[in-house]
Amino acid sequence: MSDTSPTPSPTPSAASSENPDFDAMTRDIADVPAVEVITTVAVHLMSAAAVNLGLAEEGEAHKDLDEARKLIQALAGLLDASATEVSSFHAAPLRDGLKSLQLAFREASVVPDEPGQGPGEKYTGPVFG
């Protein structure tokens, strides 16, 4: 005969001792300015693209140009779409980072894209080294 009684769930005190208090560690998303969300997402896209371009410490082990292309394209689209919403103070370094990634992609490619056809170039125009 099997026991079909429900397994007791952990008590609130047991659960809270195992998990940190995330409410205390985070702030309400409504309090985060849009420019901060946009720049944070852009920095994450840049970081991930750099890793996939092989620019991280263990570069070649993580190199994946197909993934890098997608991330650079998404970054360019985000920056293009948010250009009027983000001040030049925030946008200028993001655009510089995007151009650096586009150039690194062009250098890493065995068969470079035609000018204007590289990742994100439909938003930024052709990038030349």
pLDDT, one tens digit per residue, over 23-32 is 656 667 888 8
Q: What is the pLDDT of residue 11?
A: 52
pTM to 2 decimals?
A: 0.78
Contact 87, 124 (CB under 8 A): no
**Which residues, at least 6 apart from 33, have a Cβ–Cβ distance to it below 8 Å?**
none
Whole-angstrom Cα Rg for the chain = 22
In the DSSP assignment, the letter for residue 85 is T
**Average pLDDT over every residue of 62-68:** 96
Q: How far apart are CA 47 and CA 57, in angstroms?
A: 12
